[in-house]
Amino acid sequence: MSKKVAVYGMLVALAFLLSYVETLIPFSFAIPGIKLGLANLVVITALYCLGEKGAFVISIVRIMLTGLTFTSLSVILYSLGGGLLSFLCMVTAKRLTPLGITGVSVLGGVAHNLGQLLVAALVVRTGSLMYYFPALLAAGTAAGALIGILGGLVTERLHPFLRQGA
């Protein structure tokens, strides 16, 4: 049990650190909300190495810690909307499709952007925000592919070690 707690703690800390590092990268576009999603590297790795339950815990704890540390409660709402939809889509795709880790990650990146956009549309009570979706679709696809490729490499190397600790 203590090994499992240590592994989860290490992965949450790594995701938290990657979230912080991402805030330091001068990466901006004309559309707010577009980012690389570096912390999702930890979530996709956990999904393939530790399973759904472990990845879910890591994802939610990271969203809450990052939100409380670097942003605000309203940003946590957007992050949770994106994170939950993304996680649901990734788990479903992993279970029911022949997609590999990169394809699952791309789907997760697109779903994350869609989830945040849906929350924003509910908050401001207008569907006109959906005009941003094509740009967010492209951004989610690109970021998801990058994270998926890196996640595949990391998973291949860490899977034996993470399985032993969990």
The CATH number of the domain holding residue 68 is 1.10.1760.20
pLDDT tens-digit series, residues 124-153: 988 888 888 998 899 999 999 999 999 999
CB 159 within 8 A of CB 105: no
Domains contained in the chain, number: 1
CB 71 within 8 A of CB 106: no
- In Å, how far are 61, 138, 146 from 132, measured between CA atoms? 28, 10, 21
pLDDT tens-digit series, residues 66-125: 999 988 888 899 999 999 999 999 999 999 999 999 999 999 999 999 999 999 999 998
* Residue scoring higher pLDDT (126 or 28): 126
CB 94 within 8 A of CB 47: yes
Range of the domain at 119: 2-165
- DSSP code for 129: G
Window from 7-11, 26-30, 43-47, 95-99 with minimum mean pLDDT? 26-30
Q: Is the pLDDT confidence value at 31 over 80?
A: no
41 vs 88: CA distance, rounded Å: 16
Structural Rg of the chain based on CA atoms: 15
- In Å, how far are 5, 6, 166 from 2, measured between CA atoms? 5, 6, 9
